[in-house]
Structure 1
Amino acid sequence: MPRHSTVMNALGVSLIALIAAQPLAAQTVSDGGRVPTTPLRFDQVPGEDELAGVEVRDQDEALSSPRGRDQRGPSRPRVRVTPYIEVGQVVTGEFTNGGDVLTYSTVAAGIEASVSTRRMQAAVDARYERRISWDDPLLDNDVISGIARARYDLMQGLAIEGGALATRASVDGRAGTADFNTGNVSNVANLYSVYAGPTFGRRIGDIDVGAAYRFGYSRSDIRVRPTLPAGATSIGSFDESTNHAAIASIGMRPGALPFGWRLSGGYDRDEAGQLDQRYEGYHGRLDLTLPVTPTFALLAGVGYEDIQVSYAQPLLNGTGQPVVDGDGRLVSDPTRPRQIAFETDGLIYDAGVLWRPSRRMALEARVGRRYGDMSYTGSWTWQATQDTGYQLGIYDSVSTLGRSLSSGLAALPTSFDLVRNQVDGSIGGCAFGASGGNCLTPALANASGFAFRNRGAVLSSSSRLGQWQIGAALGYDRRTYIANGLVGVGALDGSADETWYATLSASRSISERTAFGANLFSTYFDSGLGIDSYSSGGSAAISHNFLPRLTGNAAVSFNALRQEGFNARIFGSALLGMRYSF
């Protein structure tokens, strides 16, 4: 690939929407044994197939799905590590409300790396940027952004995985989508998340054995407290959390018996700072697979789960309103006992179908009962060619922001295209691998400090068409908040935030030394407390290699923001810059 194409991928196209948790393309961690990781779902041994041992008609190995590929990587190692420094000049202006035209300089340092060997798979795109104002109204600030994902095979069947994320998120969704990162921002938190843990999967005779553990830590640093519409009461925001997820399974594939079976059990715990939020869940289940034809099977599962969500009570002031700290987060009342806001304890079950007409396509759909309610989940993957893949995920879980971030990072492949906003270098919500994408838009639209019931769907695709590299995602997410029995925030319990989002990115080489990239995005956020916001925009960039390590780039972008209770805003920005790669 020409060097300018690598640079263009780094400039990228805006990631406006990361992560989802259904079996193959997800938004939050699923609690009951359907937890996705890469390549090991917590309930699935690497390479295991529900129809293993049953002949599949399409034997085209070259087009087999990623689950069927050698997870240890290619026989010929590929290692690329590119540190760089970058300088740029940005002009940005607001076209509405008599907005100012502001200018500032940027100095950035970053690294782009990809490693693919028989033991290690890794990808890193990380960037630090210092913004230096030329105008008094604009504040100097630092921005750290990036994603890293890695897997190392210690020995046959045993691997260790990890990932990290740095980006920005809205502090309170009711204050609307965060202002864009080219000028002074409001309602913005710097959001960081890391996870790591071992995975194990082996076949011993006819028995498949699997286990996995994941530790995650997430934190947000609020830069500017949100300005809420008149009459809105603060409900705080995410502070920091630690989470643990562990699962083990044992089973047999169809073949030795006319059906496949798997016994699995797991434990999840998440502890967050605001109101000392605590999520704890246990589960155990038996899953059966009955092949009906060489490409079609019936699925059924039954088990037991126990989930509890609890908080410390908020501290109230003399008027009965919640007390908040300097960052706008709710303060706990040490004189009141903990409040159990959600609890479920009992039988869970589901039934469904698995259809795999070829090694390139698989569809799974399940319906059952969980969380005291009906639950619907499913996934569809289609690896149309080696360079084009599609994913659809339908998910349902009880989760928290910290668990969502950890599971989303774990669901990201170890080879992905991280595309950035061409002007401000920021990442947002969707990353694309060979078989599709993962999206985090709902998590970034509202960094909530409360647990929630999370349901939705994500459709994504990734493709290389000639010189074009294209990624697209379309999603819907619904979060129903859990705050039963908490004083001062009673209106939050049972309210539902809904997010609709779409993104399209494309880049290509124009010549051996010149490349082009562009993107479009749109996000609509409807708060369950009666406030909504809409944002959309796009950008385009061109880069040119003047010398082997020296690249010039130019970019333009536009963004529009409308939120209830505030004036609509439209921004335009332009960048001229130079990058030197080592």
Structure 2
Amino acid sequence: MTKFRAMIGGTAALFATPALAQADASSAGGATRRVVVVPYIEATQILAADLSGDSNVLTYTSLAAGVDAAVATARVNGQLSYRYERRFSYDDDIGDTDIHSGLARVDAQLTRNLSLEAGGIATRSRSDIRGAAPGVLVGNVSNIAQVYAVYGGPSFNAQSGDVVVNANYRLGYTKVETPTFGTTATGGQRLDYYDDSVGHTATASAGFRPGTLLPVGLTASAGYDRETAGQLSQRYEGYFGRGDALLPVSPYVALTAGVGYEKIETSQKDALVDATGVPVLDSDGRFRTAPGSPRRIAYRTDGLYYDAGVIWRPNRRTSVAARVGERYGSLSFTGTATYQASKDVGLAVNVYDGVQTFGRQLRTGLANLPTSFISPSQGFAQQFNGCVFGATGAAPGGCLDDVFQSISTSSYRARGIDAVLVATRGRNTFGGGIGYASRKLYAPDGAPGLVVSGLEDESYYGQLYYGRSLSAVSGLNATAFVNYFETQLGGQSGGQSGDQPGSGLIATGDDGVWSYGATGTYYHNFGRLGTTASLGLYSFKVGDFDSDWSAQALLGARYQF
């Protein structure tokens, strides 16, 4: 990951900032106003060694340009970390590559009643859940696609007497480029490649708190959600309306219950197939849409749903909410828990259940990330495709592993849990994330070329981060991760291919896929010039096959303007 230690929230800086585009400390209202913009250019030399098989060693040069920015004012809070990288090969062992990586989140209070929220991400993600699961993305990596997503929109909040009214609208766009694969055929039936999608979400609610108009608080809400995808003319459309009641039973505990109506429908057109039933591909390797194909229903629910739960808030720093009910034709569990032990220590837990698409789930995960986050110092390219840790205990962060376990072109029911912990102690910063995700995939029954209908996949993941500022101009950081993937999608085990360990191994329906590794980085800044040294170790394993190990090393220099 590249450098940008969050400068907001009282955390210790992991790098010295030689140039500030604007920095204004104001005592008005006791608030600190800060706007920091640090553009940079960077050159690195990278080595990747295969520790298994034929022990290939790759070396290449990377040139990059990027910007790290943060803003914290009375009305605006946000952060941006973006990097463009170009890799140059010395021979034919590795191709020249363009890589975009970055994360942005901003909240702006435009007026007393109107606010604006926006976010964006550029990263690389695993494509086929049956295939390779690269963790350190250097060298020739298989089964990886470049992903972009942005979202934004206004929110309105007002109060009339005891009634509070809320409304918001979000517009989002997601784009996925064609994934990379090794030279060996992946085996199993071919899965489609995601292309792009545009989503619209609008919600509104009105309600009052307990003890105002009635002893019980009541809220009525409604919403509309629509996403259209370029691949096979896929569509997600959902309506909902519901009412909720909140009844305090003690100073710290309240009971809640709700009932509503919803209609969700996902649909698509058929893939064009040849005489043998194999999908016909376009120039980008995606399924072509059959001319004149009718629209087929992949998933539909239409009717009432309900849930009930409890809310526990023993103090200002602790909040727990849990619900259980009937939804999507089965039991549904959701909940959240947050605990802020201090300004610099926080924990967040999220239990979720919903019908999703890749684009919708990615934009939802992006919206749940904090506006001030940790972006570790220079080293292996920043990825932002796992857990993102917040810069303060008030907003510990969130994980995107649930959506990035693989890129699904189908709609699915997503269920799981994740937890994030962040803590700062003096010069030390710790972060940890862990979770479980399950998806049940939907597709029209009997649709030609499609093999995912009713099948399930799941993943378990964990990630650790440690950063320490050794001095005003130097420091180190380290990350460790482990992932496990399992799917009912069929495949067949292929041989090794390309120059990346495990790039040609494909899991069968009975095989699990392991991915684990660690990286460490030391950096030292000399004024505007920063230097970096990084080491990495990564392993990948499919089923009963032997683990493939690889090691990475990096030396780099960065000039900050």
Same fold (TM over 0.5): yes
Task: Please tell me whether residue 526 in structure 1 is matched to residue 486 in structure 2.
Answer: yes
Q: Deviations over 1:45-66 (max 9, x none)?
A: xxxxxxxxxxxxxxxxxxxxxx
Q: Which has the higher contact order (CA 8 A, sep 6+)?
A: 1
Q: Deviations over 1:63-119 (max 9, x none)?
A: xxxxxxxxx997221111111111111111111111311111111111111100011
Partner of residue 370, structure 2: 413
Find the aligned partners of 2:398 and 2:525 in 1 and give their Cα distance: 31
2:198 alignment partner, SS class? strand
Task: Please tell me whether residue 338 in structure 1 is matched to residue 317 in structure 2.
Answer: no
Q: CA deviation at 1:559?
A: 0.8
Q: CA deviation at 1:429?
A: 1.4
Is there any run of 5+ residues in structure 1 with no aligned partner, and where? Answer: 11-71
Task: Please tell me whether residue 220 in structure 1 is matched to residue 194 in structure 2.
Answer: no
The aligned amino acid for 2:273 is L
2:110 alignment partner, SS class? strand
Q: CA deviation at 1:444?
A: 2.0
Q: Pick from 307, 316, 324: which aligns with 1:359?
A: 316
Q: Deviations over 1:239-260 (max 9, x none)?
A: 1001111100000011212111
Find the aligned partners of 1:455 and 1:184 in 2 and give their Cα distance: 33
The aligned amino acid for 1:456 is G
Q: CA deviation at 1:564?
A: 4.5
Report matched runs for 1:66-77 at 5 Å.
75-77=31-33
Report matched runs for 1:163-202 at 5 Å.
163-178=119-134, 180-202=136-158
CA contact (8 A) 2:50 2:549 kept: yes
Is there any run of 5+ residues in structure 2 with no aligned partner, and where? Answer: 18-27, 490-508
Q: Deviations over 1:402-437 (max 9, x none)?
A: 101111111111111134782234332111112322
CA contact (8 A) 1:290 1:297 kept: yes
Q: Pick from 539, 562, 570: which aligns with 2:549?
A: 570
Q: Structure 1 residues 2 and 457 mapped into 2: Cα distance closer, same or farther (>3 Å)?
A: closer
Q: Structure 1 residues 325 and 5 mapped into 2: Cα distance closer, same or farther (>3 Å)?
A: farther
Partner of residue 203, structure 1: 159
Find the aligned partners of 2:383 and 2:6 in 1 and give their Cα distance: 24
CA contact (8 A) 1:397 1:453 kept: yes
Partner of residue 508, structure 1: 468
Q: CA deviation at 1:504?
A: 0.2
The aligned amino acid for 1:575 is L
Partner of residue 524, structure 2: 544
CA contact (8 A) 2:156 2:167 kept: yes
Partner of residue 19, structure 1: none
Task: Please tell me whether residue 293 in structure 1 is matched to residue 250 in structure 2.
Answer: yes
CA contact (8 A) 1:278 1:311 kept: yes
Q: Structure 1 residues 554 and 523 mapped into 2: Cα distance closer, same or farther (>3 Å)?
A: same
The aligned amino acid for 2:404 is L
The aligned amino acid for 2:162 is D
Partner of residue 44, structure 2: 88
Partner of residue 148, structure 1: 104
Report matched runs for 1:36-75 at 5 Å.
75=31
Q: Pick from 321, 338, 341: which aligns with 1:384?
A: 341
Task: Please tell me whether residue 451 in structure 1 is matched to residue 411 in structure 2.
Answer: yes
Q: Structure 1 residues 252 and 365 mapped into 2: Cα distance closer, same or farther (>3 Å)?
A: same
Q: CA deviation at 1:178?
A: 3.9
CA contact (8 A) 1:157 1:202 kept: yes
Q: Pick from 485, 496, 509: which aligns with 2:445?
A: 485
Q: Deviations over 1:186-236 (max 9, x none)?
A: 211110000010011122221111011001000011142467876501121
Q: Deviations over 1:327-380 (max 9, x none)?
A: 332222123311112111111110000000001001101011111221110111
Report matched runs for 1:204-283 at 5 Å.
204-225=160-181, 231-256=187-212, 257-283=214-240
Larger mean CA deviation between 170-179 and 290-299 belongs to: 170-179
Partner of residue 370, structure 1: 327
Partner of residue 17, structure 1: none
CA contact (8 A) 2:536 2:553 kept: yes
Find the aligned partners of 2:88 and 2:417 in 1 and give their Cα distance: 41
Q: Structure 1 residues 443 and 99 mapped into 2: Cα distance closer, same or farther (>3 Å)?
A: farther
Q: CA deviation at 1:571?
A: 1.1
TM-score normalised by L of structure 2: 0.88
CA contact (8 A) 2:70 2:80 kept: yes
1:293 alignment partner, SS class? coil
Deviating above 3 A after TM superposition, structure 1's stretches of 4 or more consecutive aligned residues are: 1-10, 225-231, 424-427, 488-491, 564-568
Larger mean CA deviation between 330-339 and 274-283 belongs to: 330-339
The aligned amino acid for 1:205 is G
The aligned amino acid for 1:168 is R
CA contact (8 A) 2:135 2:515 kept: no
Q: CA deviation at 1:540?
A: 0.6
Q: Structure 1 residues 314 and 286 mapped into 2: Cα distance closer, same or farther (>3 Å)?
A: same
CA contact (8 A) 1:172 1:226 kept: no
The aligned amino acid for 2:487 is S
Q: Structure 1 residues 479 and 227 mapped into 2: Cα distance closer, same or farther (>3 Å)?
A: farther
The aligned amino acid for 1:455 is R
Larger mean CA deviation between 346-355 and 548-557 belongs to: 548-557
Partner of residue 535, structure 2: 556
Find the aligned partners of 1:575 and 1:494 in 2 and give their Cα distance: 44
Q: Structure 1 residues 552 and 127 mapped into 2: Cα distance closer, same or farther (>3 Å)?
A: same
Q: Pick from 414, 420, 428: which aligns with 2:385?
A: 428
Find the aligned partners of 1:2 and 1:196 in 2 and give their Cα distance: 22
Find the aligned partners of 2:55 and 2:78 in 1 and give their Cα distance: 43
Report matched runs for 1:488-499 at 5 Å.
488-489=448-449, 491-499=451-459
CA contact (8 A) 2:516 2:540 kept: yes
Find the aligned partners of 2:216 and 2:16 in 1 and give their Cα distance: 46
Partner of residue 429, structure 2: 469
Q: CA deviation at 1:492?
A: 1.2
Aligned residues: 520
Find the aligned partners of 2:194 and 2:290 in 1 and give their Cα distance: 18
Q: Structure 1 residues 346 and 563 mapped into 2: Cα distance closer, same or farther (>3 Å)?
A: same
CA contact (8 A) 2:106 2:118 kept: yes
